[in-house]
Amino acid sequence: MIGLGHYLVVAGGLFAIGLFGALAKRNAIAILMGIELMLNAVNLNFIAFNRFLAPAQVVGHVFAVCVIVVAAAEVAVGLAIVLGIYRRHLSTDVEHFDWLKW
């Protein structure tokens, strides 16, 4: 029988993979993909908790929809920033984005 623990471990694995992608990649778009994976893992957590701890309610689903809205806004603005930087410096490599330090 599949319980809450199974889903939480899978979500934890997805979150860890997303974190690795966000920390280890050099392409800014790949970093945003990692963040999307992390947000998705969080959604899976919300829905799993909702299903097993309070099945008659939809509070977890409301949270998940809010996370989806935030993820959409985040990816829209994030990619616009990447495009803006690319237009000026012809690069999407975050290791070139270091004008704020010297």
Task: Report in angstroms how near the CB of residue 12 gets to other proteins at its nearest.
Answer: 4
Binding of residue 52 to other proteins (CB under 8 A): yes
Residue length of the chain: 102
Q: For tokens 């992608």, name the residue.
A: 21
**In 3D, which of 16, 9, 18 has the Cα closest to residue 37?**
18
Q: Which of 3, 98, 99, 102 binds other proteins (CB under 8 A)?
A: 3
The C-alpha atoms of residue 18 and residue 25 are separated, in whole angstroms, by 11
Find the binding residues for other proteins in span 81-100 (CB under 8 A): 81-84, 86-87, 90, 92, 94-95
Binding of residue 12 to other proteins (CB under 8 A): yes
